[in-house]
Structure 1
Amino acid sequence: MASGVVNIRRDVDDKFYRYRMPILNTKIEGKGNGIKTVVPNMSDVARALSRPPTYTTKFFGCELGAQTSFDEKNDRYIVNGAHNAERLRELLDVFIDKFVLCRSCKNPETELVILKSGRNEDIIRDCKACGERTGVDMRHKLTTFILKNPPVKVKKGKGKNTGDAADGVGGGSNSPQNGDDEADANGAESDDELTKKIKAEAAELNTDAALDKEDWSADTSPEAVKQRIKALEGSMASTVLGGDDDGSDEDANSPYAQLGRWIDEERDHQEPKGFAVAIYKKAEDLGIEKKHKSLLVIVQALFTDDIMVTSEKHQKSLLGGIERFVGLVHPDLVTAVPKILMELYQIDVLDEELVTQWGTHVSKKYVDKEISKRVRKASEPFLKWLQEADDDDEEDD
């Protein structure tokens, strides 16, 4: 059985493409006239597409001329007959093109909306990325099923499933969970105060030493390098606290994808001590030096201790970048997660309370749920060490 994740648009060959989904798996059961194809991870795939799993299953039935059945309570989605997994994956691509991707910008961040005009009903894709509303082909048999089983849109802030694909709400597998949104919202005011404080301190720094790349090669003594890193930290911290525009990294040509590709291409040609400055300047050229999502891309493309983390939101993005780095790009490094977390904790990049919460709450914000579980499972030795250290402190008191 195949495992892993792929780009929702399989024609996009970019590891920094934001929208991803699990690889569709199949299982043949029964024999003779009772043979059937079960899709064990249909609900996970559909969730990544922000569509109910009944829609994708019914679409397969329409295209293959086969009966379908759903047992949503037990999470079983069946297409009668024996069907090759690769064939169903090809049909899934067709479904994505017809009922998910925006016809204008080809972004999967859409939701289906039913418009009524007299006796007529039309289904449109409402794109949350570009704002366009584009219709679907109402001649397809699936549209009859959708009209009879319209997507349910849950109001924001009501329950944990807001934005869940089973409810037909747009957002994709990378949409933020409510908990993260609330935490970011609650921390907005403190971030503003912190920004003022950091900017005031940064203004006192020697501006000639802050971001002058030529000076980095003048004196390579440990003390000089330490002072320049401190200067760079002050400059970056004063600008990197800004928010991110939703959907701004939706395609292969986004500034985030460009930054990731640039780091990949340049890291072997840059002087290590000056590369942090070069990365910052590249992000500045792309207009994303104020965006915390830049941290996620940097960690995924190049794990480095020059990353400056100045707020809770940044810590979450840093941990999200680690999930993508070890979960998607270098899965052989999953066992090294405790060491990575320990290093970041010991240099005060990660707070104990936040990393403990991260380790005990699986999230689909950055990676597939199964990958998220695997990374957090690997972090257990570090989390156990944190707990034991706290217990020892309490005993000493």
Structure 2
Amino acid sequence: MATVNIRRDVTDPFYRYKMEKLQSKIEGKGNGIKSVIVNLPSVANSLARPPIYVVKYFGFELGAQTNTGDHDRWIINGAHEATKLQELLDGFITKFVLCKECQNPETDLSISKDQNIIRNCKACGQRTKVDPRLKLSGYILKNPPQKDKKEKKDKKEKKKAKANGEENKEGSNSEEEAGKNGNGHVVPTSNLDQYNAEAGSDDEFTRVINDAAKDISAGDGADAFTIDTSEKAMKERQKNELTSAVEKLTMGGNDEDEEEDGGNGPYDQFAAWFDEQAKELGGVAKVDDIEIYKKLSELGLDRKHKTLQVLAQTLFDENVAKQIGPRAGLLKKLVASDRHEKAFMGGIERLVGKQYPKLISTMPNILLPIYDKEIISEDAILKWGSKANKRYVDTATSKKVKAASEPFLTWLQEADEDDSDEEEEDDE
């Protein structure tokens, strides 16, 4: 696919910062005409900005409504040619990407304590403000960018160190120590960028899944939450493991996008396939992630947010705390929006609250790998835990699940406040 310089005023063919040319496809007629930006995720990734920021900018500049649809389709109402959108993208790059000092696009965005949007330049080290009068600025303040993986990893390490009372006061831990949690165990790093780039290869897919499958230490005060490993319990788990996937998939959590399909829709087909695979292979844990992803793609379910709710209830049993890690690569591949995150957490809530209520007290142990593997963002976990919700379970059960999660949620919240105080001191 053809590429252009991110700064199109630079004609040097060896300019290192490049992106794909925007591609748009006009669909519909009359009042229903719309423009679909086919390769927006790739372009936005080259700019290190969320695709939603770019499409919202286009909407503000064109005075048109925008939406992403259910299949990650980035849509602008009206007919807009790719050349026009490319020109508008130049404006977005100037205002929200390029460093104001050195004009380098290697920047990221953050929100300061005084609610200013800051471009942090990795090339020259300057921190420059984005014009707060721009319409998109208001949207970004309400929907702040997620922190990059290294920053989130460092932040997590600080939290774990504080929780264990082992934080290095000098802040000069070696690189080796920086890659360990408070218990000395190596914390697996995120492979999301590489995973997305290599997802087309089954061999690479398997490698990434295996990388994500390392054991996660319970740690951080979660030792009290244990699973019965007696022979009787093991036999019971083996029996539960082969429970029909069809039964799991039909349990509550109605979705507004769910279609009446007479029991032969894509989710029913996936359920039947998964149930057959689990029985043939000897358990749900034996069903290969690559085969799951292929089947979801074949049925058109790989982009739907309800799929995350379904998988949360299907892939796991009462060993969920240990099973999440090995499935992290697949789950991260499928989580594409806030709605996906919400659906997954709802599925976990129903799995624990209804299918395995004895696990309610172990919620901190279950939330740890979800957070540690960066499957669901910290903000989404805190938002999920903020109040009871009757969408996936009854209100009383939801309250029990959230109450049991409180130690972990409090740990996240308090550590986040400590980090905010430190950042404020650094800014001063």
Same fold by TM-score, threshold 0.5 exceeded?
A: no
Scaled by the length of structure 2, the TM-score of the pair is 0.36
How does the TM-score come out when normalised to structure 1?
A: 0.39
Between 1 and 2, higher relative CO (CA 8 Å, sep ≥ 6) is seen in 1
